[in-house]
Structure 1
């Protein structure tokens, strides 16, 4: 009797989990597409999306009598192929964020020396580095958008999150002519230098949050890939 109850509960558990995943994906789609989306939105979105991948693994563990082994193998192989793109994008984002943090530390040191020319050069280098974070997504954007939009929503959301983040980061950084983030001035007054250091520290915290969010999503993607490989080898 107990065994029958457990068997009967499987379809309802599967339906509940699938429904929760679908609701969360729909919520995330609206969340990151909102005009008010921020860096914080992206960081939170990465965490939530990572949890979605865990739920998808749970769904895949449910027995599905309607799917043949050959069909399952084909689905898993397709997921494995496409997971490489997301893992590569996450890895590129992690590397670029790490370089940005290093650039911030160097910029803080130069700023303390109050060398106008050195600060200007270092800040321009920093902005170039920040723009570099957008390159991996520009190269893959058209391909992944066309491929992912018509397929799994979690893949589309993963690309969207990683694609939107560099643009929001650039808005925070600004350019050498932007009043809020301009680190170049003719006179390095003490109060101004302190203000600029505080802005850099705030930016460093933002990048740290992005690193955490990206790393969390990256780990989940790797975990899902290992899960899929185990299915193939079983």
Structure 2
């Protein structure tokens, strides 16, 4: 005969449960990565995306545990579980914004590269293409800024749940920490693809001068910068200087940006699928 479930069962999935320990390990690695990063690059952002994928893969396994599910449906935790469900939808919405932003950026980049190839020597055509690109990027940036504001509001909105000091509360505590870290990483991701994080740094040195000395492409300094922001800033400098003589340098920046976008798209899509999977599991647990 099956042993009846009691709320004080010692077999509840506490922090010492193997899967919960895996979640803690992933959280620790992400926090360490945050602390170690003085600036964002595509490699560091990609590494964090991979970390989030591993984290949410573990979360789905954690939610599959019968004892986790029993804890979540208890009356004293249901409200918190529903808040986590609402928060997961907001996170998916933010991921969709990021996916759309990357897709639009890639399309604009490819279109501008095509203009440079087809209209060799046509400086006016190049200039108009750059202006169109920057207008599109400005619109995308506004959408990203709005998404960042929504994330900040979410961090203050969904903070009413407490641990309650028991093992059942440990389930909520684990899931709450996962959501908090995920939100912080998405903030960093959005800032990266919008170029907001890199703008102040890029403004402190002359990109016009860098254009003139374009043999520096591929230097260690270039590799440490945000490829997306670097391409945008280079194009803005072209407009300001009215100098369209260094298209080779610009094309190199656009190629770097496109490769960066492709890698980020793949990582974000994998994360998106894992987030959906975990959300569906939670929906089923709460019988929505």
Q: Normalized against structure 2, the TM-score is what?
A: 0.65
CA distance in structure 2 between the partners assigned to 1:115 and 1:149 by the alignment:
54
Matched, 1:124 2:134: yes
The residue correspondences of 1:134-213 to structure 2 (distance < 5 A) are: 134-147=144-157, 152-169=176-193, 170=195, 171=198, 178-179=207-208, 181=231, 182-183=234-235, 184=238, 186=242, 188-189=244-245, 192-213=246-267
Partner of 2:215: none
Structure 2: distance between partners of 1:111 and 1:149 = 50
Alignment check: 8 A CA contact 2:23 2:55 kept: yes
1:32 corresponds in structure 2 to: 34
| Cα offset, 1:11, TM superposition | 7.2
Match of 1:6 in 2: none
* Aligned twin of 2:24: 22
2:207 partner SS: coil
**Preserved contact between residue 80 and residue 225 of structure 1 (Cα < 8 Å):** yes
| Matched residue SS, 1:67 | helix
2:271 aligned with 1:217 = yes
1:61 corresponding residue in structure 2 = 64
Q: TM-score, normalised by structure 1?
A: 0.78
**Does the CA-based 8 Å contact 1:92-1:136 persist in structure 2?**
no
* Helix, strand or coil at the partner of 1:134: helix
Question: Cα RMSD (Å) of the superposition?
Answer: 3.3
Whole-Å Cα distance in 1 between the matches of residues 90 and 244 of structure 2?
46
Q: Is there any run of 5+ residues in structure 1 with no aligned partner, and where? A: 1-8
Give yes or no for contact 2:14–2:20 (8 Å, CA) kept in 1: no
Q: Is the 8 A contact 1:39 1:165 kept in 2?
A: no
How many residues matched? 223
8 Å CA contact 1:57, 1:224 repeated in 2: yes
Equivalent pair of 2:19/2:62 in contact (CA under 8 Å): yes
CA distances 1:13-54 after superposition (whole Å, capped 9, x unpaired): 962221221121022022134214322222221222122112
Corresponding residue for 1:231?
A: 285
* Partner secondary structure for residue 17 of structure 2: helix
Determine the structure 2 residue equivalent to 1:92: 97
CA distance in 2, matches of 1:23, 1:143: 28
**Does the 8 Å CA contact 1:49/1:154 hold for their aligned counterparts?**
no
Residues 79 and 46 (structure 1), Cα distance of their counterparts in 2 relative to 1, 3 Å cut: same
Q: Which region of structure 1 is more displaced relative to structure 2, 33-42 or 100-109? A: 33-42
Which of 44, 49, 54 in structure 2 is aligned with 1:51?
A: 54
Instruction: Tell me if structure 1 keeps the 8 A contact 2:109–2:254.
Output: yes
